[in-house]
Structure 1
Amino acid sequence: MSTSVFRPLWLGLLVLAAPPLWAANLQAELVDAAGQPLANAVLTLQGPLDGAPPAAAGVMDQLAQQFMPHVLAVRSGSAVSFPNSDDIRHHVYSFSPAKRFELRLYKGTPSEPVLFDTPGVVALGCNIHDWMLGYVYVTDDPWFAVSDEQGRVQLEGLPAGRYQVSLWHPQLTDMLSQPGGELQLGEAGTQQRFSLAVQPAEVVPASAPKNAFGDAFKKARDAAQ
């Protein structure tokens, strides 16, 4: 039998073994109106669903009487655990429309994680330590990330194609996500800069903590209406 008979099968195996050609990468920089790096900003992408990752578990820790991370982004349907790494007790709760829950006074890690199944902003507080404030950003968009201290975001292995960008930050005036425009991702890596007009962060004196949760909850409630 001629070797040419086997050539199509051989070529097909090479194609299957090759890395996917649709993989695209995005490196983004998020800045404020003055061009300064913006940490804790959420960037989400809505686009091709091929290869979209499933909902994954998240972790919102409590360390040094602060929520860590300050902003956690998860996909709708994700379960989030709330370990307490402090040597004191915390009482975590949220009255946000996207998720109302309460984890009563505890140390260690509650046995059951909290399911976040509705998109929206969830403001977290502690019933014992009024200055503690954190956010869980729940999105239906399949690709998302939170910027680091240098305002950087990196997403890898995305299907090449056209995406709609959404941006969010806890210092936005109305706490609503902002459109970030349209983005075309090809096989080569893409770099993009996004700017958000945010309010200046309040500096809370350590000797007299301010109850910031009330204001944050009100904004999250109004944004859902």
Structure 2
Amino acid sequence: MRAMRWLCAALAGLSSVAWAATIEGQVTLYLDGKALRPEEAAEAVVYFRPTNPGVMSPSTQPYEMVTQRKQFVPRILPVTVGSQVRFPNQDPILHNAFSSSKDNAFDIGLYGQGEGKTQRFDHAGYVRVYCNVHHSMVGHILVLDTPHFVRPDAQGRFKLKDVPAGKGDLVVWLDRATPWHGERVAGQGGAVQVKLDVSQKKIPPHMNKFGKPYGRSSDGGY
């Protein structure tokens, strides 16, 4: 009986090893044909969507996108479907967070310094976040239907650990570039070399939440 238990445990261990794979690589950003500093790639999001995805649960704790010095921090925030995001305000002035993004539109209203309100995101997709008070405040929430995502380090390197072995779609996303897609067999092949051409502005042209231009004093605070 003891030998049988040992054999079952050993087989379970082999199974977990066989299904746990790693995908690693390097992200390099280019502007006008010239490579940018490696740390610029740290804002990108790298995620893997297995062909046969497993069950995914939302985060039990809210993610956070802080308003700090008239900026959303982090500027790019990856979250899983069904999770909540809290918008704390660390500035001594009023802010707002809203989005007109399809399926994930929201408006939490004006809020002062403090813990802030939370918003739940139930649909996978890209959510561009603005402040109705300050035109220059732009945040990006990437709602993912996969738990396998990571940010590159200060050298532009990334490593996705414990992903299911097998085929899937590897994506590298950055708001200022066209997303990079590549079919990948997790657990096979060497490091992935990803090049992204930065062609879009950090502050895209946009209207306020009423569909009207921002006033001259929009960045003046209170």
TM-score for both structures, normalised by structure 1: 0.74
- Shift of residue 200, structure 1, vs aligned partner: 6.0
- Shift of residue 15, structure 1, vs aligned partner: 4.0
- Shift of residue 67, structure 1, vs aligned partner: 0.7
- Shift of residue 10, structure 1, vs aligned partner: 2.9
Letter in 2 for 1:100: A
- Aligned residues: CA RMSD: 2.9
Is 1:40–1:149's contact at 8 Å kept on the other side of the alignment? no
The correspondence for 1:27, drawn from 24, 27, 35, is 24
The SS at the match of 1:117 is coil
The correspondence for 1:91, drawn from 85, 92, 96, is 96
Indicate how the Cα distance of structure 1 residues 53 and 151 shifts in structure 2: closer, same or farther if over 3 A, else same: farther
Q: For 2:150 and 2:138, how far apart are their aligned partners in 1? A: 20
Indicate how the Cα distance of structure 1 residues 65 and 14 shifts in structure 2: closer, same or farther if over 3 A, else same: same
Is 1:61–1:67's contact at 8 Å kept on the other side of the alignment? yes
Indicate how the Cα distance of structure 1 residues 152 and 70 shifts in structure 2: closer, same or farther if over 3 A, else same: farther
Structure 1: gaps of 5 or more residues: 203-210, 218-225
Q: For 2:172 and 2:97, how far apart are their aligned partners in 1? A: 26
Aligned length: 197
The correspondence for 1:41, drawn from 41, 44, 49, is 44
The SS at the match of 2:198 is coil
Q: For 1:165 and 1:17, how far apart are their aligned partners in 2? A: 27
Is 1:96–1:123's contact at 8 Å kept on the other side of the alignment? yes
Identity, in percent, stands at 29
The corresponding residue for 2:213 is none
The corresponding residue for 1:11 is 7
Letter in 2 for 1:184: V
* 1:195 counterpart = 2:195: yes
TM-score for both structures, normalised by structure 2: 0.75
Indicate how the Cα distance of structure 1 residues 53 and 140 shifts in structure 2: closer, same or farther if over 3 A, else same: closer
Structure 2: gaps of 5 or more residues: 210-222
The corresponding residue for 2:115 is 109
